[in-house]
Amino acid sequence: MGERIFLSSPHMSDEGYEMQYVKEAFDTNWIAPLGENVNQFEQELASKVGSKSAAALSSGTAAIHLALKAAGVGKGDIVFCPTLTFSATANPIIYQNAIPVFIDSDYETWNMCPKALEEAFEKYPNVKAVIVVHLYGLSADMDKIVEICKKYNAVLIEDAAESLGTYYKGKHTGTFGDFGIFSFNGNKIITTSGGGMLVSDNEEKIEKTRFWATQSRDAARHYQHSELGFNYRMSNIVAGIGRGQLKVLDNRVKKKNYIFEYYKRELGGLEGIEFMPSNEWNEPNYWLSSMTLSGKVRPLDIMEVLEKENIESRPIWKPMHKQPFFKKYDFVGTNVSENLFENGVCLPSDTKMTDSDLARVVEIIKGLWLK
């Protein structure tokens, strides 16, 4: 059995940028809760993606939660959410005692289907907010989705947890909606070990989310709280790691693209394989190289044979409307997301992979077609 190959693991910079900022926090004794790293990380991330303001938070989930709260989502409100996503996209809807309605994907983007979204609005015209996800670093069809949300006066929240560094028509994902969120979880394209960021051009709203994220502590000498608060702020140490990681984001995107193109070149000719879609308006970060299978070889065959060789892979996300917790909520669409789940597999996409690692993965997978 060879050395372990991960799906997508943390990758610190060779230059040691992260430790420089962490050391600075130690040297100045700004360990927690906030400090200059937090302030600078917010400014640097906002500048990188082209947003006016940002709030550094404890997770991407926290960012979605506060975006929903800032959008005025409350008890009984309906929120549209893609069904093909991780549960962290949908869970904050429940935190706000709101009602999720799940929207199907399309094959052209693997993301929220604009036709299904329009159909959902016809069924539920008074929707407070829409969450759109950029799955695996592929951007959704944002022109159509933005147009539909404006038509129905719904707040648009972009879950760009998987798509930092992805462009839609030359503009960063996460900056088309009223709010955008990014994740720095350990498996993301850059990581702070854990953490997230909420961005928006509405600086007043971002300032309000910072207030909520620090326990809604009023400006008083004593501890006074006039609103419900949350312990959601990012620590100064974590933010220091983020500042260092941000310096190598472009290199990480290049490596993810290299990995995807390698797989596509070496495996794309095999019968029944189709890789995640490409569109002329999309510049993906290819966070996870993913493909679907329609022949005799099934996703489980690939995952099991890789697992035997100490190589990590995983299925495409299981749709939310098929999850035990969420199955009672409405779903609008056909069976696109289910087909992607049943036929899809995410290949190891770790940016530390060498050509030798990639060749090893490809050789093992090709072996299934020789049986």
Is 177 buried (19+), middle (13-18) or exposed (0-12) by CB count in 10 A? buried
Contact 303, 348 (CB under 8 A): no
Q: What pLDDT sits at residue 334? A: 96
5 DSSP assignment? B
Q: What pLDDT sits at residue 179? A: 98
Average pLDDT, the chain: 97
Q: Which residues in 6-44 are b (16+ Cβ under 10 Å) and which e?
A: bbbbbbbbeeebbeebbebbeeeebeeebbbbbebbbeb
Residue type, 238: V
Q: How far is CA 351 from the centre of its chain?
A: 17
pLDDT over 90 at 110, yes or no: yes
Q: What pLDDT sits at residue 218? A: 85
What CA–CA distance (Å, rounded) separates 297 from 131? 34
Q: Give residue-wise pLDDT tens across range 158-216.
A: 999 999 999 999 999 999 999 999 999 999 999 999 999 999 999 999 999 999 999 99
Average pLDDT on 322-337 reads 98
Alpha-carbon distances, residue 60 vs 11, 191, 263, 299, 343 (angstroms): 19, 12, 29, 29, 28
Q: What pLDDT sits at residue 107? A: 98
For residue 2, what pLDDT band results from cuts at 50, 70 and 90? confident
Detail the DSSP E strand segments found in the chain: 53-57, 78-82, 99-103, 129-133, 155-159, 167-168, 171-172, 179-183, 196-200, 273-275, 282-283, 290-293, 314-315, 331-332, 344-346
For residue 323, what pLDDT band results from cuts at 50, 70 and 90? very high
Q: Vertex 262, ends 261 and 267: CA angle to 5°? A: 100
Q: What pLDDT sits at residue 94? A: 98
Contact 161, 59 (CB under 8 A): no
Average pLDDT on 243-254 reads 98
Lowest mean pLDDT among 22-26, 138-142, 218-222, 352-356: 218-222
171: helix, coil or strand? strand
Helix (H) or strand (E) holding 68: helix 60-70
Work out whether the CA dihedral 115, 118, 123, 127 comes out positive or negative. Answer: positive
Q: Give residue-wise pLDDT tens across range 48-99.
A: 999 999 999 999 999 999 999 999 999 999 999 999 999 999 999 999 999 9
Alpha-carbon distances, residue 216 vs 74, 211, 219, 361 (angstroms): 18, 5, 9, 50
For the chain, how are helix, strand and coil distributed in percent, rounded to 5?
40, 15, 45
Q: What pLDDT sits at residue 38? A: 97
Q: What pLDDT sits at residue 30? A: 86
What CA–CA distance (Å, rounded) separates 371 from 297? 10
What CA–CA distance (Å, rounded) separates 14 from 31? 24
Strands 290-293 and 344-346: antiparallel
pLDDT over 80 at 1, yes or no: no
- Map out the domains of the chain with their CATH numbers: 17-246 (3.40.640.10), 249-368 (3.90.1150.10)
Query: Is the omega angle on the peptide bond into residue 33 within 30 degrees of 0, that is, cis?
Result: yes
More confident residue, 33 or 209: 209
pLDDT over 90 at 147, yes or no: yes
